[in-house]
Structure 1
């Protein structure tokens, strides 16, 4: 049987039935392993994007390993890390307000400035204060110009013209731009084998280094630190991809202090979503499995933002109960199985099994893998005023 259809209960599964559902279970050891592997394959510093998973209990168990720093996008995330170690803290939010800036200055944070208006607010509040590194975020599409991939043209960062203006304005305020930042978006990391594969992540890194040289000629103080972003998949990348990438960016690594950043690639495979079956409806063309958790607890599973919906097939975990306790329907193979959530929305479909499978019974558990990044927080929690999912940290 495939993993999704594996009904066998092992001793390692027993603890799941004691959990309050729906819930997330995060594994610190998986986080630490993914971080170490990605950092080693990149051969550079690796900054952790905490917005992917800002669960405080998880950070307490993993934060000691994030020695290159964390990227924070809100006051709430800053509150999670302040006082929990001396790792570098990078603040990055296009709409950063005065309260966030003041808190960052008080916490000795580094700042990634997204636009001229933000830079002006920052300069006013930082005047006369000791600041950490100040980086300008560049728009990937504008930076690479005609060599950009279509998905690089998002709404983040500055054009080169804006960056020149901001650097001069900050210099006049006595604030030095020490670095540059660029990020081309989620799932965009690639290192092509051939030139005709089109622009890749190495081309973007080289473009950022070229702009750093141009900026140095204008300001007279060259940036020394380049944050090349990431876009790494939670599914990982083969070592040859990293080898090609590292070979291409040697000229950049030789001249600058380099960092990459990742959230999805570090947390993605370090969490599962667990929901309990509360009802099963056997129809002539399908079986509907109603769960106590759905899109109001894990919006991403519903695939509402996908053009082509390919739902995840959960692993079904059953208690070893006598057949007399279970319904006769479990003796019959049903197809397909649709797993639906706890709201009144037709979009609340969180999983599907299309091949022949034994339907679960009420009380069985469904385990959705790969829910460690964004799933808990990128969710319409206000719908129906449902309580958020519980959170557990798996013990070593």
Structure 2
């Protein structure tokens, strides 16, 4: 695999090869658009379908400017702010999708010729009520995965989408307003892509959507043209080519009847981002070295693992400002942020090492998706982390 085909930012073992990281103002993120494009192309190839990009995973403007042209099948937008970023910069189809979409958001999406993903009957009726002289938008009905496949999903039901019964009512309401329903959509959740023939895997969800298409077409009087089968792809989706081969085979019968698409944010952006933070203070406590950093949960909430029942902390790459002295004492290292929250733990080095020193740099990999956008920066008025673009290879 060449450098430009890499699916994560290269971090060679030789510290001299990554000296450029010392120039990053911390705490900060580093994004590589060439990696974003390589990951998009690879996932699209493995699926052999269209691939919509969820901008909620990473809505950094500079990154979007550099790689948005490559998102040939469109982008999914979950807020008015994301729509503002995409308009004028994304030529491909723009899909808007949010259960709380109000009239202001809807009017902006209508003006921008977006496709609406309808989450509820009330949302369908609200959109129908806005129809006037402007051209009607295309719409897609979102089906709740658990309701679509009762008793067959492993994960708990979420609050997104509609039951099949409500979706038919929404289809009828849109049809009465001459708003075309062109497709169906469902999403089972993050990290839920699997092919195990369990009766609730990703291929079964796609087939359940296809089975419902006839009912939806009956409610509107027009055929369903495409299915958005969601995604749930992990950071390292490319490690399991056999699963994708089995998935493609099981979707083959649907290709004769529908245009198939998937969507992803995590799979596309994850490996294209690093998080960098500097050590500001060091102490020893309870047999471990504690490195207090200038970046923590206020800048990278996901590293703190506060939403995980079992906290498996990331192990960062440690770049030392100075070589360690011979015979230096060693201990496991815990990496924490600078807030007064006991949850502000962002990394762990279980093996005994010489203690980090003030000024050393920590690099966390796989931080390109949600890490920058899912963090609350208001605590202690610390401000948000910076963002930098690094091009490891030529993008297309």
TM norm. shorter chain > 0.5:
yes
Q: What interval of TM-score do these two structures reach, taking the shorter chain for normalisation?
A: over 0.9
Aligned partner (choices 265, 276, 279) of residue 277 of structure 1: 279
Q: Identify the residue that residue 6 of structure 2 maps to in structure 1.
A: none
CA distance in 2, matches of 1:239, 1:364: 38
SS of the aligned residue for 2:243 comes to: helix
Q: Identify the residue that residue 386 of structure 1 maps to in structure 2.
A: 382
1:257-316 Cα deviation digits (max 9, x unpaired)? 111000000001110100000111023511111100000000000001100000001000
1:100-119 Cα deviation digits (max 9, x unpaired)? 10110111111101001111
CA distance in 1, matches of 2:323, 2:245: 54
For structure 1, the residue ranges without an aligned partner over 5 or more in a row are: 1-5
Q: Alignment RMSD, CA only?
A: 1.7
Residues 104 and 77 of structure 1, relative CA distance in 2, 3 Å threshold: same
Q: Identify the residue that residue 215 of structure 1 maps to in structure 2.
A: 216
1:124-143 Cα deviation digits (max 9, x unpaired)? 11344213420010000111
CA distance in 2, matches of 1:322, 1:345: 32
- Is the contact between residue 298 and residue 375 of structure 2 (CA under 8 Å) also seen in structure 1? yes
Mapping 1:80-119, distance limit 5 Å = 80-119=85-124
CA distance in 2, matches of 1:30, 1:361: 32
CA distance in 1, matches of 2:265, 2:271: 11
- Is the contact between residue 140 and residue 152 of structure 1 (CA under 8 Å) also seen in structure 2? no
1:1-58 Cα deviation digits (max 9, x unpaired)? xxxxx99753332222222110000011111111000000100000000000000100
CA distance in 1, matches of 2:139, 2:133: 15
Answer yes or no: is 1:27 the counterpart of 2:29: no
Answer yes or no: is 1:17 the counterpart of 2:18: no
* TM-score of the aligned structures, taking structure 2 as reference length: 0.93
Residues 7 and 87 of structure 1, relative CA distance in 2, 3 Å threshold: closer
Answer yes or no: is 1:354 the counterpart of 2:350: yes
CA distance in 1, matches of 2:92, 2:57: 18
* TM-score of the aligned structures, taking structure 1 as reference length: 0.93
SS of the aligned residue for 2:95 comes to: strand
Q: Identify the residue that residue 333 of structure 1 maps to in structure 2.
A: 330
CA distance in 2, matches of 1:312, 1:38: 25
Aligned partner (choices 246, 249, 257) of residue 247 of structure 1: 249
Q: Identify the residue that residue 299 of structure 1 maps to in structure 2.
A: 301
Shift in Å at residue 65 of structure 1? 0.6
1:69-119 Cα deviation digits (max 9, x unpaired)? 000001111111111141110000000011110110111111101001111
Q: Identify the residue that residue 134 of structure 1 maps to in structure 2.
A: 139
CA distance in 2, matches of 1:43, 1:7: 32
Q: Greater CA deviation, 49-58 or 214-223?
A: 214-223
Aligned partner (choices 169, 175, 186) of residue 171 of structure 1: 175
CA distance in 2, matches of 1:41, 1:377: 27
- Is the contact between residue 152 and residue 184 of structure 1 (CA under 8 Å) also seen in structure 2? no
Shift in Å at residue 198 of structure 1? 4.2
Residues 101 and 329 of structure 1, relative CA distance in 2, 3 Å threshold: farther
Residues 292 and 265 of structure 1, relative CA distance in 2, 3 Å threshold: same
Residues 284 and 163 of structure 1, relative CA distance in 2, 3 Å threshold: closer
SS of the aligned residue for 1:231 comes to: coil
Shift in Å at residue 333 of structure 1? 1.7
CA distance in 1, matches of 2:327, 2:184: 59
- Is the contact between residue 127 and residue 173 of structure 1 (CA under 8 Å) also seen in structure 2? no
